[in-house]
Amino acid sequence: MRHSRGARLALVLLMAGAAAGCALPSWVPLVGRSKAEPNLPRAASPEPPKNAPLMPGGAPERVAAAADIVDRVICVVNNDAITQYELEEAESYHLYETKQARVEGQAQRELREQLLQRLIESRLQVQHAEREKVTVEEAEITEQLGEILKRLNVKTEPELAEALKPQGLTVDAVKKRIRETLMVQKVIRRKVSHRVSVTEQEIDRYLVENREKLETGLTFEARHILFLPEAGGEEEGWQAPRRRAEEVSARLLAGEDFAELAQKHSDDASGKDGGALGTLKRGELAPEIEAEILKLRPKETSAPFRSPVGYHLFKLESRQSLTGEDLAQARNQVRDILYREKYQIRYKEWLSEIRQRAMIEMRL
């Protein structure tokens, strides 16, 4: 389904922050913040054209009523106001991104409460960055704005300004959003990222405790030769395949090639491919068969093995293991896992710290 230019614009603007490693949620409106004053200037939240939806997914009646609700303060975070307009805009972003229909009643109230809490957290982060005197160079803003121009396939800021008009936005509003996003990124690096580290001992402990889980994703390559029992399922019907398996096993021990013997003697369709089972992940074969194969060393063949299907001979061609390069890769993955876990914990702690010190007045 093709998006309109307005919808595409919204997506590009939402993704602009992500391209820069955006710390703010993508649904945070691209309009500037409003100071808590008796009569807030309407310029703080640009009014969209009467005949254009505010954002993709926005209901037309909401746009018509925007002039009535734009100045309604629903929450004051320290000395900053969050307006009803901003909350409804955040709701439109959320519904558009998640492709959900607009909800009413209790469901809408719960959604708006969640979005309001996220708006508060975003506002607190920007305020904290300002108190930390975090600065953003004009060159950084220009670089991010250039990414937006590329995504929209426009070359100049005047062309961008024309593209923004149907969304009720200005280039200055977008630059302000970019500046605040970069400020928050920097303060998060200072207060969160730089305070998170993972030790080699923690990685070792994780590997020991989760070795089986980590090995689940490792692969192996094997071959097999199958000897089917005679029809009927009686025990006598298993004697012939057992003897055949023992005979071929002896030839393998004498040095004959596994693939050639599989082509001549296997009752399985893989016989024509020399018994190759291909590249397998742990868990793709029956547990008892997989266990029998993985008992082998690479290039080693098994003794005849009976399964409910028939008698088998297996050869393990190769297997990944948590050694050498595979171990190094696994350690890097574990380091990333532990870092993300610690990062999330520290990030939540930091948000809790700045929230506890804040003055938040709910007016919704």
What does the alpha-carbon distance between residue 95 and residue 101 come to, in Å, rounded to a whole number? 7
CA distance linking residue 10 with residue 15, whole number of Å? 9
Mean pLDDT of 173-195: 93
Q: Residue 298, SS3?
A: coil
**CATH for 70:** 1.10.4030.10
- Averaged confidence pLDDT in the chain: 81
* Shared-domain flag, residues 164 and 116: yes
DSSP 23-90: -S-TTS-SSPPEE--SS--GGGSPPPPTTS-SSTT--HHHHHTHHHHTT-EEEEETTEEEEHHHHHHH
**The total number of structural domains that make up the chain:** 2
Over the stretch 46-95, which tens digit does the pLDDT of each residue have? 333 333 333 333 333 344 444 555 579 999 999 899 999 888 888 887 88
Cβ-proximal residues to 128 (8 Å cutoff; 6+ apart), any chain? 187, 191, 354
Residue span of the structural domain in which 30 resides:
5-191
Residue 138 pLDDT grade (very low, low, confident, very high; cuts 50, 70, 90)? very high
225 occurs within a structural domain? yes
Closest CA to 66 of 81, 77, 55, 80: 55
* 116 and 245 both lie in a single domain: no
Pair (172, 267) in one structural domain: no
Answer yes or no: is 341 within a domain. no
Q: What is the pTM of this model?
A: 0.61
* Residue 233 pLDDT: 61
Asked if residue 230 and residue 186 are part of one domain, the reply reads: no
Residue % of the chain over a pLDDT of 90: 54
Q: Is 135 in the same domain as 255? A: no
Q: How many CB atoms lie under 10 A from the CB of residue 137?
A: 10
CATH number for the domain harbouring residue 309: 3.10.50.40
Please indicate, yes or no, whether residues 181 and 231 belong to a single structural domain of this protein. no
Coil, helix or strand at residue 299? coil
Per residue in 259-308, pLDDT (tens digit) is 999 999 999 999 999 999 999 988 888 989 999 999 999 999 999 999 99
Same-domain status, 163 and 232? no
User: Are 26 and 97 contacting, i.e. CB atoms less than 8 angstroms apart?
Assistant: yes
